[in-house]
Amino acid sequence: MTRKLVPGDRLVIASHNQGKLREFSELLAPYGIDTTSAAELNLPEPEETGTTFVANSLLKAFAASQATGLPALADDSGIEVDALGGEPGIYSARWAGPDKDFNAAMRQVYDGVVAQGGWIDGNRRANFNATLVIVWPELTAAGAHASFEGKSFGTLQWPPRGDGGFGYDPMFQPDGADKTFGEMRPEEKHAHSHRARALKLFVKASVDGGHS
Ligand code: ITT
């Protein structure tokens, strides 16, 4: 059995990250879905004990769905730096520490790359990953959840540029662009972003009228 959201259906976005929530509301606006969020509902933040994007995303979606009885969509995401063997990856939020200091986290990425042989072209490749999981509370077993992955490949920049977006945006320039995500307007970022790509797959599979 498959399930699709129709206009007016309620969906909880299982996130407390205001940057992600802003992007989801922009990207879902055309479909008339009534969205709320884990942050707005004051749901507890589950501990991210998984070792993969999909495991952590499932854990967040499941917790929000259990707490609300609503379909829940979670996003586990991060930046994977080639020269760092894919780190920080699923630990991207944790590199910013309890104060969510992304200037310090970006500096840690920069220092790590420098330590791996220098801030040279071949060392600066990276990609963002977003893995979305939808949990349908009323479905069981096979149909109860599904995952969708989007990636954006590009080059790390130093110093960081722009004050738009969130997280690591000012130090990432997607391929085919001459601006960092931090310098882009929201719709420019969506044209290149991992989250918009994953959401497009979600919409196609799970939103009525989302196939076009
Ligand atoms: P939730 O779990 O509540 O959704 P979180 O910030 O803890 O919020 P994650 O565990 O998925 O989310 O961590 C992902 C981190 O990766 C996030 O905090 C950002 O720093 C970074 N990140 C993900 N997508 C990004 C994007 O589009 N631009 C910049 N940084 C991004």
Judge whether residue 141 has pLDDT over 70: no
Check if 78 has its Cβ closer than 6 Å to any atom of ligand 1.
yes
Cα 5 vs. chain centroid, distance in angstroms?
Answer: 21
Per-residue pLDDT band at 142 (split at 50, 70, 90): low
Residue 19 main-chain phi, psi, to 5 deg: -65, -45
Q: Which amino acid is at 212?
A: S
20 CB less than 6 Å from ligand 1?
Answer: yes
**Strand pairing report for 145-156 and 72-81:** unpaired
- End-to-end, the C-alpha distance of the chain in Å comes to 22
Inform me whether the pLDDT recorded for 151 exceeds 80.
yes
Nearest atom of ligand 1 to the alpha carbon of 105: 20
3-state secondary structure of 87: coil
Is 190 a pocket residue for ligand 1 (Cβ < 6 Å)? no
Residue 3 binned pLDDT confidence (cut-offs 50, 70, 90):
confident
Do the Cβ atoms of 72 and 134 come closer than 8 Å? yes
User: What mean pLDDT is predicted for residues 147-152?
Assistant: 98
Rg over alpha carbons for the chain, rounded to the nearest Å, is 17
If you take atom 15 of ligand 1, which residue's CA is the nearest one? 93
Q: Which residue among 77, 95, 128 has the greatest number of ligand 1 atoms within 8 angstroms of its CB, and so is best to mutate?
A: 77
* Cα of 118 from ligand 1 centre, angstroms: 26
Cα(197) to ligand 1 centroid in Å equals 16
pLDDT tens column, 37-64: 999 999 999 999 999 999 999 999 999 9
153 lines ligand 1 (CB under 6 A): no
Nearest protein CA to atom 30 of ligand 1, as residue: 167
Least confident of 102-106, 157-161, 208-212: 208-212
**Considering only CA atoms, which residue is closest to atom 21 of ligand 1?**
78
Q: What is 10-206's CATH number?
A: 3.90.950.10
Residue with tokens 């882009």: 184
Known active-site residue 163: no
Mean pLDDT of 197-202: 98
Instruction: Determine which helix (DSSP H) or strand (DSSP E) holds 179, and give its type and residue range.
Output: none
Is any atom of ligand 1 closer than 6 Å to the C-beta of 180?
Answer: no
The rounded Å distance from CA 202 to ligand 1 centre is 18
Contact 74, 133 (CB under 8 A): yes
If one counts every other C-beta atom within 10 angstroms of the C-beta of residue 114, the result is: 14
Token duo for residue 186: 């929201």
Domain definitions of the chain by residue range? 10-206
Exposure on the CB side of residue 1, measured as CA atoms within 13 A: 7
Catalytic choice (76, 82, 121, 169): 76
pLDDT of residue 209: 79
